[in-house]
A and B are shown apart, each in its own frame.
Chain A
Amino acid sequence: MHGEFYSYTLTASKAVLILLSFAILIRCLRSMLREKYDPEVWAYLRYGRERYPVEHWEVIIGRAKDADICIPEREIAWTHAVLRRSDDGQWRVNDVFGRGGVWVNNLFVDDDGADVSDGDTLNLNGIYVKFQDLSMEKRGRIESKRAGVGRKYSPALTLLMLTVFQLFLLLQHAFSASPDHLADIALGFCSLIVMEWSCFNAMRIINRTGFEIETLAFYLSSLGMSVAASSTPEDLYKQILLTLAGLALFLLFGWWQRSLQRTARARIPIALAALALLGINVVASDVVLGARNWLEFWGFSFQPSELVKVAYVYVGAATLDRLFRRNNLYVFIGFSAVCVMALALIGDFGTALVFFVCFLVISFMRSGSIATVMLAVTGAGLAGFLAVSARPYIAQRFASWGHVWEDIYDKGFQQTRAMSAAAAGGLFGKGAGNGWLHGIFAANTDLVFGMVCEEQGLLTAICMVAAVILLACFAVRSARSGRSAYYAIAACAAMSILLTQVALNVFGSMDILPFTGVTFPFVSRGGSSLLSCWMMMAFLKSADNRREASFAVRPGEKIRSLGDIEALRARRAQEKNREEAS
């Protein structure tokens, strides 16, 4: 085992893994953040000589600089009206505060709003603006001029790099794993490769070119597979099945969100389902392993709070017109309070904190009010103080925070071992399967950062964190061009959840924050966590508005030839027929 061939191969594979990690990340970063990003154009507003393009499905008209359509006339309020488009192409205008008043073709617009069609005149408190909807052909021409994705940085090449990365991980395991488990481990990595290429080819077939989000998710999943192969090679098949299930949910959920109306309609049922799930969790499950609560199904441990995270984002996000109605936010605040209280009852304070940060992001994005956020933080601080003083074991956690080396056999048991193993890995790691941390309780979940540091080295562990940050940056960038505020808020909220998990997982196990026992997205072993992470990616996918990038976004029409026009007309006729039939 300790032959020269082994040691050379191991050293070479470490170098290759780290180079590939960097290459994959940099290619994704450039493709996601550096490439040109032309907005879509859906309609125009004409005021005097000016022509304002309507670049989203939801736009704010007002005098303020940060209004999407800024008409600098004194008659118009800072934020005057919201213009939005439904899935079927019908536009509708709403008066935001009822201050200035909005008339469409001289008919007063009440709280419900009014439909707007091509050629209609909007009267914004005496300022007359003409609405000009774009014909399919015209929009198609604009659409085909937009920059596409994947020209400069071929997603296939990035995915090929990831495949090599996975094969080298497998090679390292081949050296270290026991012969009994070698077949399972090989199956694990190969099924990842099959899944990612099938997914990629499916996207190719439906003409979608953006694959960075999936690539990064599969990159993290590979590290997760490696962790599982080192720690629990005997039930690796679960990891394979769960990744498959996660991928399926990702595709389904992404497809579901293509229709904004459908998405919005399901919010209330999903909120109720989430509350029911939490209710079952509070009532039904026993306290196992301290604060952790699990439900067991057919050998799969299941954490309801993971699915509730997805529901929380789903319920929390809102379309632009609803943003300005206070009572909507109150409903959301109530929902949040119930969720966090349920988690507190369960005793899962790490997840409660994750929810709370997500709540802050959503409420800030919805209200834009720092005061609201400060109020929430103060309230939570008070509640946290009460929780700490009421429950001694939480106070203990805080007491050992920063002093874990003083109590290495009890309170600091897990953290000190994680830190020791992480440091022992150095920059390049000991190679997959060569660590010892996997023998410690929760090594492959709460201490997973230590495990990756030990086996793959600090550089790869940093790449792992950077991958999540990169996804978050992409969510923020997508917020600029998203069709609806719903998608923008959902993507940002989803990423705020994943970022908070990263922070709590990494810094908790390394004694920079109190140890709360939260999973690292995709990498930590845990079925429900894996599923929820893939669903979070669906939120991100539906905010990706680059031309023909995402399967979760209905494509705009594009016209490059006369044939395209014919095809478009045929499609429209078909849709009309279908509508009439129904």
Chain B
Amino acid sequence: MKKLNRRAFSVLLLALFIAIGMLTYVQRFLESGENWASYFSRLNSLSEGTITDRNGILLAAFTANDNRFNEDRTTRIANYHVTGDFWDRTGTGMLTNFSRQLHSYSPITGMTQTKRIEMTLNVDAVIDNKAYAALAGRKGAVGVVNYRTGELLCMVSSPAIDPTEPEPKVLDGVYINRLISAAFVPGSIFKLITAAAAIETLTTIWQRTFFCEGEAEVAGVKIVCPFEHYTQDFPGALANSCNIAFSQIAIMVGQTEMINHVRAYGFLDPHDLDGIPTAAGTYPLDFVGDPETGWSGIGQSTDLICPFSMLRYVAAIANDGVLVEPTMVRDGEPPRETLLVNPDTAKTMQRLMRNNVVTVYGDNRFPGLTVCGKTGTAEVGDGTSHAWFTGFLQDEEHPYAFIVFVENGGGGLSVATPIANTVLQTAVRRGTDMEY
């Protein structure tokens, strides 16, 4: 029996194994319990809360046994990327990213809800509806921000789905928020960056003229413009969006300075939209030589821009260089302000962008509005092109910066500007008369 007594301790090896396993578990629990808990428990907790837009329109509500969204299906769909859903399918919705505001976690108490949360957003659901309708099922995104206060008035990504449908017909990239979570070929709207770089680095830029016959060899590469622009000055080249001129300008600025400006304006970094990380962009950072520098200066080459980064940039230009960081949640915190663009450069850019609309696009596209902007038609290599239009209103009553993006949508001027007009008209009317 003594022999057995010793052998019996082999059973305790199992107990030891369990003890080690439990320690491992406790350690993991302390380390990542919060991540585990917030993954599903938030969606299943007894918490209560509502998310409403700036005018009190209910976007989402959850109680102990009920999750609800807006009653109107169109509103639900248009605001899908604002709210997200209770299945966590889009990573960027409010429901997903504000769990910390909605709940608190500690390893001791676990997941608890401290108070009933009523969250008000800066977003205006009606503008979102208009913008989503204007996109008309095409892939794309619309963003509008008040450049004086940073309030994000409109965030729409298309296509979207009804968040109450557990299994929607799977649409291509429906869970991606195209405004903040992806980067695209920018095309001519990139010239806003090249122009600012030129203003700051080339003292002779205002004296120069550029000649365009519709086709030219720049640094040994054939660059094409859709029209012959003939002789033009710098503002004219931007208004005409002359590829030949701007590839020459980018080469004159040089790759190093171009990189400095692209980086300084925040195009290469992810940003933080109320805790949601946005997509970073790309620009050729290794030495590529003049031909590629020229290409990248007109928003082609390997350039990729997140629409949200461009919205920040134009908002900063509109606000004399000071960026008021866009926010979606009205939480009473003071706006974060940073000097993104040199104030003189910003003012010059304002004039240039106003000049674009006055001389080329035409104010009659935007009845009653004072729009400063830049269009873009980005060739993506498969014969189609992304349509872009970004800019802002010169209007102290309605200081709105905007970006419109239609993936593979066609020409910026023909496709994107009408959408921008619809959205801006709505925004302005909503801004003056709530009854609209």
Chain B 19-41: CB-based contact to A (< 8 A → 1; otherwise 0) = 10110111011001110110111
Chain B positions within 8 Å of A424 at CB level:
36-37, 41, 45, 105, 110-111
CB of B133, distance to nearest CB on chain A (Å): 32
Which A residues from 492 to 526 make CB contacts under 8 A with B? 492, 495-496, 499-500, 502-503, 506-507, 510, 512-513
Q: Is the CB of B11 within 8 A of A496?
A: yes
Q: Which of A416, A422, A476 contacts B8 (CB 8 A)?
A: A476
Interface size on B, residues (CB 8 A): 42
Which listed residue (A434, A488, A500, A502) contacts B46, Cβ 8 A? Answer: A434
Q: Answer whether residue B14 sits at the interface, using C-beta atoms and an 8 A cutoff.
A: yes
- B1-58 residues at the A interface, CB under 8 angstroms: 1-12, 14-15, 17-19, 21-22, 24-26, 28-29, 32-34, 36-37, 39-41, 44-46
Given the known inter-chain contacts A426-B107, A457-B110, please indicate yes or no for A499 contacting B11, CB distance below 8 A: yes
Residue B1 contacts which of A68, A422, A428 (CB distance < 8 angstroms)? A68
Interface mask (A403-425 → B, CB under 8 Å = 1, otherwise 0)? 00100100000001101111111
Contacting chain B: which of A197-205, A477-485, A550-558? A477-485
Chain A, Cβ-Cβ closest to B36: A423
Chain A interface, DSSP helix/strand/loop, else mixed:
helix
A67 within 8 A of B: yes
Name which residue of chain B comes closest to A426, CB basis: B110
Whether, in the assembled complex, A541 has its beta carbon less than 8 Å from a beta carbon of chain B, the answer is no
Known contacts A368-B3, A424-B37; decide if A436 and B45 are in contact (CB<8 Å): yes
Check B201 for interface membership: any CB of A closer than 8 A. Answer: no
Measured between C-beta atoms, what is the minimum distance from A471 to chain B in Å? 10
Q: List, in ascending order, chain B residues with CB within 8 A of A421's CB.
A: 40-41, 44
B109 within 8 A of A: yes
Per-position contact with B for A202-231: 1 when CB-CB < 8 Å, else 0?
Answer: 000000000000000000000000000000
Asked if A271 CB lies within 8 Å of chain B CBs, one says no
Contact of A419 among B1, B36, B44 (CB under 8 A): B36
Q: Would B1 and A423 count as touching, CB distance under 8 A?
A: no
Verify B36–A422 contact, CB threshold 8 A. Answer: yes
> A488 and B4: CB pair below 8 A?
yes
A469 contacts chain B at the CB level, 8 A cutoff? yes
Q: When A422-B36, A479-B4 are in contact, do A469 and B11 touch as well, CB less than 8 Å? A: no
Query: Inter-chain contact count A-B, CB under 8 Å?
Result: 150
Is A537 an interface residue, CB under 8 A from the partner?
no
Determine whether B106 belongs to the interface, using a CB cutoff of 8 Å to chain A. Answer: yes
Q: In this complex, what residue of B is CB-closest to A513?
A: B21
* Chain B contacts for A503, CB-based, 8 A: 14, 17-18, 21
At the interface, yes or no: A458 with Cβ under 8 Å from chain B? yes
Instruction: Tell me whether A469 and B6 are in contact (CB under 8 A).
Output: no
Contacts of A60 in B (CB 8 A): 1-3
In contact, A361 and B11 (Cβ under 8 angstroms): yes
Out of B3, B17, B19, B41, name the residue touching A436 (CB < 8 Å): B41
What is the distance, in angstroms, from A368's C-beta to the closest C-beta of chain B? 6
B170 contacts partner chain A, Cβ-Cβ < 8 Å: no
Q: What residues on A are CB-neighbors of B18 within 8 Å?
A: 465, 469, 499, 502-503, 506
Return 30 A-B CB contacts under 8 Å, by A number.
A59-B1, A60-B2, A66-B3, A68-B1, A357-B14, A361-B11, A361-B14, A365-B4, A408-B39, A419-B36, A420-B39, A421-B40, A423-B29, A424-B110, A426-B108, A465-B18, A475-B11, A476-B8, A476-B11, A476-B12, A489-B4, A496-B11, A496-B14, A499-B18, A500-B14, A503-B18, A503-B21, A506-B22, A506-B25, A507-B25
Q: A residues bordering B, Cβ < 8 Å?
A: 55-56, 58-60, 66-68, 320, 357, 360-361, 364-365, 368, 405, 408, 416-417, 419-430, 434, 436, 457-458, 462, 465, 469, 472-473, 475-476, 479-480, 482, 485, 488-489, 492, 495-496, 499-500, 502-503, 506-507, 510, 512-513
- Since A476-B12, A512-B24, A512-B28 are in contact, a sample of 12 more A-B pairs with Cβ atoms closer than 8 Å, ordered by chain A residue number, is A59-B1, A368-B3, A368-B7, A408-B39, A416-B39, A417-B40, A472-B15, A476-B8, A479-B4, A499-B14, A502-B18, A512-B21
Which 8 interchain pairs have the tightest Cβ spacing? A426-B110, A424-B41, A436-B44, A479-B8, A423-B33, A424-B111, A423-B37, A423-B36
Q: Contact residues of B with A, CB < 8 Å? A: 1-12, 14-15, 17-19, 21-22, 24-26, 28-29, 32-34, 36-37, 39-41, 44-46, 105-111
